[in-house]
Amino acid sequence: VTTDRILEGLARREPAALARAISLVENQSDGFEQVLSHAHGLLGRGGTRRVGITGPPGAGKSTLTEALIQRFRAQRLSVGVVAVDPTSPFTGGALLGDRIRMESVSLDPGVFIRSMATRGAQGGLATTTEEIADLLEAFGFERVLVETVGVGQTELDIARTAETTVLVLVPESGDGIQTLKAGIMEIADLYVVNKSDRPGADKFRQEVEVMLGIRRGNAFRHMAPHNPSDGRTGGRADSASRLSDGPPVQPSGRWQPPVLGTVATTGVGVDELTAALDRHYAYLQASGMMAEGRRRRLAARTRAVLERKLRRWLLEGTRVEELLASRLDELADGRRSPYDIAAEILDQVKAGGSATR
Amino acid sequence: VTTDRILEGLARREPAALARAISLVENQSDGFEQVLSHAHGLLGRGGTRRVGITGPPGAGKSTLTEALIQRFRAQRLSVGVVAVDPTSPFTGGALLGDRIRMESVSLDPGVFIRSMATRGAQGGLATTTEEIADLLEAFGFERVLVETVGVGQTELDIARTAETTVLVLVPESGDGIQTLKAGIMEIADLYVVNKSDRPGADKFRQEVEVMLGIRRGNAFRHMAPHNPSDGRTGGRADSASRLSDGPPVQPSGRWQPPVLGTVATTGVGVDELTAALDRHYAYLQASGMMAEGRRRRLAARTRAVLERKLRRWLLEGTRVEELLASRLDELADGRRSPYDIAAEILDQVKAGGSATR
């Protein structure tokens, strides 16, 4: 009944229904897959572009996101934002503070901003975030921004559920360039050096370009960048040296991630950023990478959904917990190991035998 | 054959065999569960204590770990260390730099230090870290330190695989106390304010104590700390005010996490830290929490191992990928959703039917 009401509300494009749908998905409450399944039928019609924005804390991502929203709104594009802070079990309200500062756009009915509470969320965060982005797209937002704080694997996985991934850095990022290893940098489609009016910004930007193989450098010539395994970004140019203002598509036809400078607080460089987003979108379409990436993400999602269903079935639909409880003494005194017992349970699950209720 | 040779080497206590066993586990190569299953039979004999150490980057964890190692060595205790940096896909060599600085102890044959490369490791990091700690314990190290950088859920999960969890903070941690929410702080058994000779350290330590309910404070009186859901730490004292140098066990018999000050670089406070570790160990034993925690961790591990086995079986032992490939067109054009298809596959897996090879 609740699910039906949410679906009706979504069809009438009621923001309250969208908020309820998101909560349903976030909490994986009854009917959440039904809502998502319905939303899936409304996706991929080409009216929506998804952009993932990530970077270390303090890089100014929220200010940059706000500037992007304003730019999109000036083009009369509606914008949905999902913001997630995977470190929130510890940092708590830090991101929420940023959200509040976004008030200039959050009162605009053409903008919908949702922060995700991740406390206690164990894994699956990228999947849930992508599902919420699905809801925003199905609702009809023309730009969907996925913002996440941090530069660990989780954060990158989240940002890369979008078609275009933007990595925001600042001149004083981490311990500087030493912490950015070749190859590891090749995780985004666009690099932004924010706060680029600060001392050292030009040098930092040049170092990032050297790292990406855009610019020839001495310091890093022994560090050959690796190609990314999924072919998402273009990898290194065949001729490693080109001007940073040159065309983003290499002679080989691959995308060369540009390194842009912005000052989000004053809006400097934001036009160039939206132009670069447009170029990347055009590249994805022309190269066939858009369709290919979409199929790859859908396959990955189905695997993730399957694993989630399987885990839930294992915990709720089988006798696993009973079996485990009955083996706990043997486990604790070393007669049995977690590996024996897991194998025993798995065999029973496979056989559809006594482990299944 | 390789597995047998590793097991023989481990029985002869050869460090090279230990290093190979760890690599086997880290890469989940053939036979890794056999080695771990064997190691499991050697655990829980009481000769080893495990300590997890976590905290934000720059808190001085590595220096503190090194100081702890030196203290343990002075007591003629052998020490195994597993260090893991969950953010390493991005920060790369940052932690490695710290390892190198630990050279003073790494040449000591009574000390074994292993850094874990986490690049590409998707989830399961806490399980793998705990498994490596198992190998170190089975090998006979009397102290096993699990060090991890960061304060997100992943890092906490890793540190909390140990019997005692130490959270290292510095006066300038994050944006200070504002980022540390009540309740969320109650994740460690011991809190260390390192670099406690810096200005503001006393105030910071007092604020942490207020947050933990050890000290009465005005600023945070509206923020009632939550009790941790797993009963690991003691929660708030019934009478919230006590001296910070008072006994760590509350009148209620619960453990009250102390807040210690250290200057790891000079060794100040390290004796107090080892004494507090001893007190926590004694508390765990006397209260029965040691045995209880061990059983809880073994059950959690078995569940994690089962999920890992199941995931692997799903990917390698079933026709899931074929099924998925045959449905990809329907997925992409919106006729089918990831949820329909996952449900279809799960039904077949449950039935032991055509999804199973």
CB A318 within 8 A of CB A357: yes
Pairs across A and B, CB distance < 8 A: 212
Q: Which residue would you say has higher pLDDT here, A335 or A314?
A: A335
* ipTM exceeding cut-off 0.95 for this assembly: no
Mean pLDDT, residues B117-143 taken together = 83
Mutate to test the interface with A, among B30, B36, B48, B87 (most CBs of A within 10 A): B87
pLDDT at A192: 94
pTM: 0.76
Per-residue pLDDT of A254-312, as tens digits, reads 898 999 999 999 999 999 999 999 999 999 999 999 999 999 999 999 999 998 888 88
Residue B352: which of A91, A123, A351 has the nearest Cβ? Answer: A351
Residue A152: which of B87, B157, B184 has the nearest Cβ? Answer: B87
Within 8 A of B121 by CB-CB distance, chain A residues are 153
Please name which of A120, A124, A114 lies closest in space to residue A158, comparing C-alpha atoms: A124
Per-residue pLDDT of B318-333, as tens digits, reads 788 888 999 999 999 8
Mean pLDDT, residues B116-145 taken together = 84
Instruction: Kindly indicate the confidence band of residue B347, based on its pLDDT and cuts at 50, 70 and 90.
Output: confident
Residue A94: which of B150, B179, B320 has the nearest Cβ? Answer: B179
Residue A40: which of B87, B311, B338 has the nearest Cβ? Answer: B338
CA dist., res. A124 & res. B139, Å (int): 35
Mean pLDDT, residues A1-19 taken together = 92
Q: What percent of chain B has pLDDT over 70?
A: 76
Q: Is A349 exposed, middle or buried (0-12, 13-18, 19+ CB in 10 A)?
A: buried
Within 10 angstroms of residue B19's Cβ, the number of other Cβ atoms is 15
Q: What percent of chain A has pLDDT over 70?
A: 76
Instruction: Kindly indicate the confidence band of residue B123, based on its pLDDT and cuts at 50, 70 and 90.
Output: low
CB–CB of B339 and A36 under 8 A?
yes
Residue of B nearest to A173 (CA): B91
Instruction: Kindly indicate the confidence band of residue B350, based on its pLDDT and cuts at 50, 70 and 90.
Output: confident
Residue of B nearest to A131 (CA): B338
Mean pLDDT, residues A85-105 taken together = 53
Tokens of B5: 């040779």
Mean pLDDT, residues A145-169 taken together = 84
Per-residue pLDDT of B192-251, as tens digits, reads 999 999 988 888 888 888 877 777 765 443 433 443 333 344 433 333 333 344 446 666
Within 8 A of A222 by CB-CB distance, chain B residues are none
Within 8 A of B40 by CB-CB distance, chain A residues are 334, 337-339
In SS3 terms, B282-294 reads as: HHHHHHCHHHHHH
Mean pLDDT, residues B115-144 taken together = 84
Within 8 A of A326 by CB-CB distance, chain B residues are none
pLDDT at A180: 53
Instruction: Kindly indicate the confidence band of residue A93, based on its pLDDT and cuts at 50, 70 and 90.
Output: very low
Per-residue pLDDT of A187-227, as tens digits, reads 799 999 999 999 888 888 888 888 777 777 654 433 334 43
Four-CA torsion B176, A155, B134, B186, nearest 10 degrees: 30
Within 8 A of B135 by CB-CB distance, chain A residues are none
CB B18 within 8 A of CB B133: no
Is A102 in a helix, a strand, or coil? coil
Instruction: Kindly indicate the confidence band of residue A49, based on its pLDDT and cuts at 50, 70 and 90.
Output: very high
Residue A295: which of B121, B332, B352 has the nearest Cβ? Answer: B332
CA dist., res. B10 & res. B16, Å (int): 9
The mean pLDDT value of chain A amounts to: 80
Mean pLDDT, residues A49-56 taken together = 90
Within 8 A of A157 by CB-CB distance, chain B residues are 122
